[in-house]
Structure 1
């Protein structure tokens, strides 16, 4: 059976994650479930799309990923499956899978054809995406219909998003900009403040700021032994950009 990976904005304080897993185990009692994250930016599939794409290398081969950041749940947006390179993703067609689809060769999109049993208007993760993922992981074939890639939400979004897409537990600000060696001499500007590159935290003194390429391949803003979010008033959606070279 293929592993099932969960990536949502549900948080962990309520019952939502447990209910999601229950829906999977009902279809696939022997499933292996990995909680990748339940702290994607809430209500924000655009920011979450860049994070999800950056996490792919940490996901086991052949995984089925349930992705849920779905502020439009219950609307006319399609429930979809994205497949490619041995991976499968189930979730809403709201741009959440748009960036990761660019990493897949021969990416294939399908609409999930709903059964006659009514789904709730507020919890498609439990009612649709988790059961479909469990079927795929078990080698079963859910009812799908191919849909064109060019019509998917987010297909026009840039490859790099010059914004903060996550503020983590340490107060670091993760951007949607891919890290490149050629950018090391450039100054990152946040709220008019200039932040210079450092390879790692030990390269600057306590309380000093830096930007670096994180383990997911994205540019991240930090303060050694402090909070960049507090220092620079960072939040999801805050613009960041490169200024002149140092």
Structure 2
């Protein structure tokens, strides 16, 4: 089973070409689209979305993620092996899904070896079709990752700076995702649930679900992904707060009334 997460969009032929390259190698493999609507070049957003997919797929699933603004440069194309596989550019997109796969090894894909295996030249601008998709397909046939290139130090795989930062009585958090409803997901999990969340001058009640406040009112909640989320019932918190993915924001968790 192969999942696909990209920023390709649906207008052009790119998703179809990548699927064709996969199915030409393994016509029997199941290919599942997670999304092709990641915001262009947003590695943080892609990492969050891949994390959510990895959490719910079975062992041996191959997750291909292609948000790759550095395509054709010296950035590495890699395979990370655990109880599931990540096939991604080495640009930080692996940061969040890595938490869930019990990774044991990583390999750099050698483009010359890949050309020899697939029997055609690799484009300098479309590694989704020519590198990552085919590598996923070959893994689904039982190829060992070492056939694609040398093993690399797993600890040296590039990670995004997504650890929440504690500063006295507040947190400095990053916006890691904004969904189609305008809900703002922040990089804080495993926290003690507060009574209020203070962000950008607003004291927002912490409540379990959207419908427990009036339409148009703010709330903070754990969300379905267990990260701290800021939302407006039937409105866009991102628009009102002026936030976008990658922004940092100071947040206070308030545990007392008053």
Q: TM-score, normalised by structure 1?
A: 0.88
Number of residue pairs aligned between Structure 1 and Structure 2: 240
1:49 matched to 2:55: no
Distance in structure 2 (CA, Å) of the matches to 1:244 and 1:105: 31
Paired residue secondary structure (2:133): helix
After the TM superposition, which of the residue ranges 105-114 and 52-61 deviates more from structure 2? 52-61
Q: Distance in 2 between matches of 1:66 and 1:226?
A: 33
Q: Separation in 2 of the partners of 1:123 and 1:61?
A: 28
Query: Are 1:209 and 2:218 matched, yes or no?
Result: yes
Partner of residue 139, structure 2: 136
- Distance across 1 between alignment mates of 2:180 and 2:42: 18
CA deviation vs aligned residue, 1:110-157 (integer Å, no higher than 9, x gap): 111223453211111110000000010121334231100222211x73
Residue 126 and residue 96 in structure 1: after superposition, are their counterparts in 2 closer, same or farther (change >3 A)? same
Query: Which residue does the alignment assign to 1:122?
Result: 125
1:230 is matched with 239
Query: Which position in structure 2 is the counterpart of 1:157?
Result: 161
Give the Å deviation of 1:80.
Answer: 0.2
Counterpart selection for 1:195 from 194, 198, 204: 204
Contact 1:212-1:221 at 8 Å conserved across structures: yes
Between structure 1 and structure 2, the one with the greater Rg is 2
Contiguous gaps of at least 5 residues in structure 2: 166-172
Q: Distance in 2 between matches of 1:234 and 1:158?
A: 17
5+ residue gaps in structure 1?
none
Q: Identify which range, 124-133 or 144-153, moves more after superposition.
A: 144-153
Using the TM superposition, give the Cα deviation of residue 209 of structure 1 relative to its aligned residue in structure 2, in angstroms: 0.7
Runs of 4+ displaced beyond 4 Å: none
- Assess if the C-alpha contact under 8 Å between 2:4 and 2:32 holds in 1: yes
Once the two structures are TM-superposed, the CA of residue 202 in structure 1 deviates from its matched residue by 1.8
Query: What is the TM-score of this pair, normalised by structure 2?
Result: 0.85
The root-mean-square deviation of aligned C-alpha atoms, in Å, is 2.0
Give 1:65 deviation, angstroms. 0.5
Bigger mean CA deviation after superposition, 124-133 or 32-41: 32-41
The one of 78, 99, 102 equivalent to 2:96 is: 99
Contact residue 218 and residue 232 of structure 2 kept, 8 A:
yes
Pair 1:129–1:239, CA change in 2 (3 A)? same
Contact 1:99 1:159 in 2 (8 A): no
